[in-house]
Amino acid sequence: MSDRVRVEIKDHIADVKLFRADKMNALDNDMFNAIIETAAELDANRNVRVVVLSGEGRAFCAGLDTSNFKRTASGNAGPSTIGPDQSLLDRVYGISNRAQQPIQAWRQMHCPVIAAVHGVAFGGGFQLALGPDIRIVHPETKMSIMEAKWGLIPDMGGTPIMRGLVGDDLIRELTYTARIFNGTQAKEYGFATHLSETPYDDAMALAREIAARSPSAVQASKLMLNKLHDATVAEALITEAAYQEAVIGKPNQVEAVKSQLEQRPADYDDTEWSEPRM
């Protein structure tokens, strides 16, 4: 798809690798474009049931390319994460601006996304790891909400996800200080779902487990959980009912039951599911 991102799709799993190892997969303009375009193409591919996002080489993602900061130091101010005629306030991808889309695209993806995180995940790279549904992290990974080091705030779409993972006071401390913490601490804080000495291998194993489930049920569950993030109890209950009604009794649900009773692998239809109107 790009020289910045490599994708292999096999057995309904999209194996997505940031591919700029010489720069620790830092985010330059081409990387922003590649992630946005890759996510859009995968979201349109209903044959994909799970995505695994990882970084080639010795890091997941080191954050913004330092050339962006050198440009600022030379007097060429202004955000480098958006187009020349854009404001950060412009919503060019639904609810997101261009800087936020590489993170929000994975959160809004039709299917689950698993991040396999190793090496470093700093600043924008840390926020990129937040976009996926699940994060499997090496214990020695170095992580940081690093924007304050460069006189910035975290603005790449990760803040609404952070608040659902960890306490407000911890988010504030890490944001104000840009303190580096490791993968073990990330698990203690709530940022990491699981720790692993082999995060990529474990992410792929989990992806295979998810891909074996009914894509209708899994995709409905993801969309439902996304909607429940800020929902009232009443909204949550009607959302549950609407999404259950969209899958119950349909061919994929019937196939799930039959395959379990007959003790055989299921044969699902990836085109069956459609989101209910609410």
Amino acid at 216: S
Is the domain spanning 215-262 CATH 1.10.12? The answer is: yes
* Cβ pair 216, 208 in contact under 8 A: no
Say which CATH topology domain 5-211 has: 2-enoyl-CoA Hydratase; Chain A, domain 1 (3.90.226)
List per-block mean pLDDT (blocks of 10 residues) for the chain, which spans 278 residues: 90 98 94 96 97 98 77 53 72 86 96 98 97 98 96 94 96 98 98 98 98 97 93 95 95 96 96 80
B/e letters for 173-183, b = 16+ CB within 10 Å, e = fewer, are ebbeebeebbb
Domain boundaries, the chain: 5-211, 215-262
Q: Cα-flanking dihedrals φ and ψ of residue 120, to 5°? A: -135, 150
pLDDT of residue 77: 54
| DSSP type of residue 14 | E
Q: What is the pLDDT of residues 227-267, one digit of tens each?
A: 998 899 999 999 999 999 999 999 999 999 999 999 999 99
pLDDT of residue 85: 72
Token pair 């955000």 is found at 79
Cα 132 from Cα 142, distance rounded (Å): 18
* Cβ pair 32, 65 in contact under 8 A: no
pLDDT of residue 139: 98
* Cβ pair 65, 81 in contact under 8 A: no
For 229, counting Cβ atoms within 10 Å of its Cβ (0-12 exposed, 13-18 middle, 19+ buried), the class is exposed
pLDDT of residue 73: 46
The percent of residues above 70 in pLDDT, for the chain, comes to 93
pLDDT of residue 180: 98
Q: What is the pLDDT of residues 3-38, one digit of tens each?
A: 899 999 999 999 999 999 999 999 999 999 999 999
Contacts 24+ apart (CB under 8 A), 253-262: 253/214, 253/216, 253/217, 255/214, 256/213, 256/214, 256/217
Paired tokens of 67:
């050339």
pLDDT of residue 271: 86
pLDDT of residue 78: 54
CA angle 269, 272, 277 (to 5 degrees): 160
